[in-house]
Amino acid sequence: MSGKAILILVAAFSFLFVLRGKEILDFSTSTVDNYISYYSKTNSHSIAVSGANMAASQIFINRSWKAGYKNLDFSSGKLNVTVDSFGYDNRRITSIGTYNGYKDTVIAILSPKNFAQYGNFYNSSAAWWATGDTLSGPFHINDYIQCYGNPVFLGYATTKKGVQKYNAQSKPEFLGGLETGVEIPLEFDTSQIRLAAYNNGKIFSDTTKKNKVTDVQLEFFSNGNVKYQVRIDNKAWTSPVTKPLSTLAPNGVIFIERGNLFIKGKLNGQATIVASRKGSTKAGMIHIVDDISYNKNPLTDPTSTDMLGLVAENFVQVDFDSKRGDIDIHASIYSQKDGLVIEKYDQYPGAYKMNLVGGIIGEKVRPTAKYKVIGGIPYPTNGYSYVHKFDTRFYKFVPPYFPKTKYFRVVAWYE
């Protein structure tokens, strides 16, 4: 190639570079701007996420914390967090992170977990889960899971101390998974339920104003009615009164002040019934005298809206009846000072099924049956075996004002 041709080629390249140089420089500047914008947006988002996590941690430690953060210097930016209460004991965290003129927002919704969302929940073990016991739904105990033989745990199980087997032949099945080292306090304040009962529910209390123990009998009917009788200080029962549950307690809450409940029947509707102690060792007990079931069983009819919560500040007991046989109990049961007690379980003439639909939340696991060991495996001979089905509706909907856990959990997170 001649020198003249090379000169023309160089001149052409120079001309093209002049034409495209501004575009190349503009592109470089745009790339830097985009990087700065991305970096600033990312930082503002990270600040907002950090603020939401910090506020959630404060609420987990102190459920009454609502101070938030105002114009807090954080990671070379600013953080503003507000905490609002809404509904029944819920919290909304709004966290805004600002960096280099960019702003991002994270919203978190916190709520205590409802105890009805457990199939079984206990503080301690006073008995062993044994062959014939089948439990469904989430299971938790702040102790060992003690297993005698081959009990079956269908749901996710958590325990503080682990699993304790009675002997080498004991082979419990954890079909839903198992996690150890988990502790959840069994704590509950009845003030919210009492307030609900006073506002739009039903309160049973000592009409003599002498602070005597009040006992109440409730029998539910499939037509939506409930029959009740009352006695004060263990005297005679009043004449029975029958009325619709929706009239007796429009919001479904029935509160027995310093008293005990005796219950049976077929519930059509929704109710939570509380037996409070109010300082008396003779009060706060719930007696299940016979079947208490739903008009529509949710296990076979998914349209069922019937729900029952039984809350005893002392304990819940299945009263002894040697002629009863199998028993159906449809409810989420909260037994503050004890567990689900089977009265005289070893005096029943045979072994029966306790068909539970719902859950049991109590201080401790109680024995329900007498066993005979055959080949190293225990088999029930007297009393009741748990045949438990968790009411999966309770994941989303629970009996009215049923107790909640002390600590909050994040139920929604919006970024």
pLDDT averaged over the chain?
A: 89
Residue matched to tokens 């929940």: 121
Cβ–Cβ under 8 Å, residues 81 and 67: no
Q: Which residues of 53-71 are buried (b: 16+ CB within 10 A; e: fewer)?
A: ebbbebbeeeeeeeebbee
Residue matched to tokens 């007297």: 382
Last residue of a domain, one of 71, 91, 113: 113
Both 266 and 305 in one domain: the answer is: yes
**pLDDT class for 12, splitting at 50, 70, 90?**
low
pLDDT at residue 252, as a whole number:
96
Higher pLDDT: 204 or 36? It is 204
How many domains in the chain? 2
Both 243 and 376 in one domain: the answer is: yes
Look up the domain containing 217 and give its range: 118-406
Both 168 and 304 in one domain: the answer is: yes
pLDDT tens, residue by residue, 283-320: 999 999 999 999 999 999 989 999 999 999 999 999 99
Paired residues of 335 in beta bridges: 312, 362
Mean pLDDT of 199-221: 95
Both 138 and 108 in one domain: the answer is: no
Q: Please state the pTM of the whole predicted model.
A: 0.77
Both 129 and 252 in one domain: the answer is: yes
Chain-centroid distance, C-alpha 337: 19
Both 60 and 200 in one domain: the answer is: no
Whether 234 is in a domain gets the answer: yes
Backbone angles phi, psi at 345, to 5 degrees: -60, -30
Both 320 and 302 in one domain: the answer is: yes
pLDDT tens, residue by residue, 242-272: 999 999 999 999 999 999 999 999 999 999 9
Both 48 and 189 in one domain: the answer is: no
Paired residues of 359 in beta bridges: 332
Last residue of a domain, one of 113, 136, 168: 113
* pLDDT over 70 (residue 4): no
The alpha carbons of the chain give a radius of gyration, in whole angstroms, of 31
Cβ–Cβ under 8 Å, residues 227 and 241: yes
Both 196 and 288 in one domain: the answer is: yes
User: Could you tell me the CA-to-CA distances from 159 to 144, 286, 297 in Å, in that order?
Assistant: 6, 27, 30
CB proximity list for 357: less than 8 A, separation 6 or greater? 293, 294, 297, 298, 299, 328, 329, 330, 331, 389, 391
Whether 413 is in a domain gets the answer: no
CA distance 139 to 152: 11
Last residue of a domain, one of 55, 78, 113: 113
* pLDDT over 80 (residue 7): no
Strands 285-294 and 253-256: unpaired
CA distance 374 to 298: 37
Whether 24 is in a domain gets the answer: yes
pLDDT tens, residue by residue, 162-197: 999 999 889 999 999 999 999 888 877 677 888 899
